[in-house]
Amino acid sequence: MNDVVLSTHGLSKRFGEILAVDGLDLAVHAGDVYGFLGPNGAGKTTVIRMILGLIWPTEGHVEVLGKRVPGQREAALRHLGGFVDDPVFYGAMTARRNLWLLGEMSGSAEPERIEEVLEKVGLADRADSKVGGFSHGMKQRLGIAQALLHCPEIIVLDEPTSGLDPGGMRDVRELIRDLGRQGTTVFLSSHLLHEVELVCTRAAIVNRGRVVVEGPVEELRPDGMAVKVVVGDRDRAAEVLGLLPGEPAVVRDGDDLMVTMPDEAVPEMVRRLVAADVDVRAVVPAPERGLEDVFLELTGAQDEAPRPTRRQRWKLRP
């Protein structure tokens, strides 16, 4: 699509015997606040390092506004700003001086632009304070200011609210929302599901270095209703449910089963279970589920056993 500004194509990274990223394909569109969501160890930071050209992929490539990484790294980086892990500054220097020095290292930084980004991230009144006295949240905001310094079309943020208190998390989330509203494309890595639901417009859930599902945040949920099925023989019930038309999503929930299927299919499910001599003790509608439930079902079940394809079990609403 013409509005794709950041994409990965068969991106893989191997460290010895460890396959950290496995054939990753992503597409980030202009104006997205794109959540890159996955558990710790899913390969998120490795992907960001490859996007920023800090490490080379084993296979595949990144494309930034038509420029490939590796190959055209310098041209691609003109369109990118961001940080990996926690941003690092000179503690004995002021916020303004840090931005000037870091700006000079990558070209130049006009004094007016430095003042503009400090204002944007809410640090204008601390511009002449030494960074060594900043809180963790203030340093995160200064890192975003640095990422914005050269007016990039895309900023890449690796866990920007990690380690912050609730107030700091709220401030950084609001800053990211503002960037999205102003037209900056944001690629946001996080393992905090609530953060992605609050901030992002589109997201990908990744596990073991592979994309499990991708789409608009409000559509990343099972298609149909969810019911909790209380049965006498859970294993036999799961076997029967696996043979139902449409292959409903079935997840173990303690001693019960959580089943996601179209509303009209529930009576047939009960009939099939009873016909198979499975004691059905209760069928209870589940509460409305959010991204956390989807995340746990997709990543948790992947860890337990092979799964059907996304096309078989999940649909993105049109």
pLDDT one-digit tens code per residue, 73-124: 999 999 999 988 888 999 999 999 999 998 888 777 789 999 999 999 999 9
Burial (0-12, 13-18, 19+ Cβ within 10 Å), 257: buried
Q: Which of 159, 185, 219 corresponds to the end of one domain?
A: 219
Mean pLDDT, residues 261-290 taken together: 83
pLDDT above 80 (res 315): no
Query: Do 187 and 49 lie in a common domain?
Result: yes
Q: How many domains does the chain have?
A: 2
Q: What is the DSSP pairing of strand 59-64 with strand 4-15?
A: antiparallel
What CATH number does the domain containing 271 carry? 3.30.70.100
Residues 36 and 104 placed together within one structural domain of the fold:
yes
Domain co-membership, 211 together with 238: no
Considering only 178-187, 218-227, 272-281, 302-311, which range has the smallest mean pLDDT?
A: 302-311
Output phi, psi for 62, to 5 deg.
Answer: -105, 145
Res 235 pLDDT > 80: yes
Within the chain, strands assigned E span: 4-15, 18-29, 33-37, 59-64, 67-69, 80-83, 154-158, 185-190, 202-207, 210-216, 225-231, 249-253, 256-261, 280-285
Q: How many helices (H) and strands (E) does the chain have?
A: 11, 14
Nearest to 189 by CA among 208, 162, 212, 165: 162
Same-domain pairing of 260 and 126: no
205 and 240 together in one domain: no
308 falls within a domain: no
Are residues 187 and 282 located together in one domain of the fold? no
Q: Which of 192, 219, 246 is the last residue of a domain?
A: 219
> Is 284 or 97 the better-scoring residue by pLDDT?
97
Per the structure, the complete domain to which residue 156 belongs is given by 4-219
Q: Partners of 29 in the beta sheet? A: 4
CATH number at residue 104: 3.40.50.300
Mean pLDDT of 44-64: 95
Residue after which a domain boundary falls, among 200, 219, 238: 219
Q: Is the dihedral of CA 145, 147, 153, 154 positive or negative?
A: negative
172 shares its domain with 67: yes
Q: Is residue 300 part of a domain?
A: no
pLDDT band at 294 (very low <50, low <70, confident <90, very high): low
Per-residue pLDDT at 108:
72
pLDDT tens by residue, 149-204: 999 999 999 988 887 888 888 888 898 999 999 889 999 998 877 788 889 999 99
Whether residues 231 and 190 share a domain: the answer is no
